[in-house]
């Protein structure tokens, strides 16, 4: 006994498959851009002298980003009078 599917099911399945293809294509594009950026960084670093010191600001930058997001969330909370339940 074969199962009959409706036209709506066919269309919905097709749309779902097309959306998945689109998402994967977007991810591929994103990864290609990241690869290009990484290649540029590697090229730049290879051109620098080997004895040059490098300092990382990862934690400081992350902390600054968190503060900005917290400020935006606080402003949004005040603007719309949001009450947080604990």
Report the pLDDT value the prediction gives residue 23, as an integer from 0 to 100.
96
Q: What DSSP element (H or E) covers 14?
A: helix 7-47
Distances (CA, A) of 49 to 53, 57, 58: 9, 20, 22
Report the pLDDT value the prediction gives residue 85, as an integer from 0 to 100.
81
Report the pLDDT value the prediction gives residue 13, as an integer from 0 to 100.
94
Report the pLDDT value the prediction gives residue 54, as an integer from 0 to 100.
67
Asked whether the whole model's pTM tops 0.85, one would answer: no
Output the tens digit of pLDDT for each of the chain's 86 residues.
Answer: 567 889 999 999 999 999 999 999 999 999 999 999 999 999 998 998 888 776 666 677 777 888 889 999 999 999 998 887 87
């Amino acid at each position: 006994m074969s199962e009959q599917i409706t036209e709506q099911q066919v269309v919905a399945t097709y749309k779902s498959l097309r959306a998945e293809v689109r998402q994967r294509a977007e991810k591929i594009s994103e990864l290609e851009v990241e690869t290009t950026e990484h290649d540029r960084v590697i090229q730049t670093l290879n051109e620098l002298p080997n004895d040059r010191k490098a300092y990382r600001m990862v934690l400081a930058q992350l902390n600054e980003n968190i503060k900005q997001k917290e400020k935006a969330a606080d402003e949004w909370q005040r603007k719309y009078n949001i009450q947080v339940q604990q």
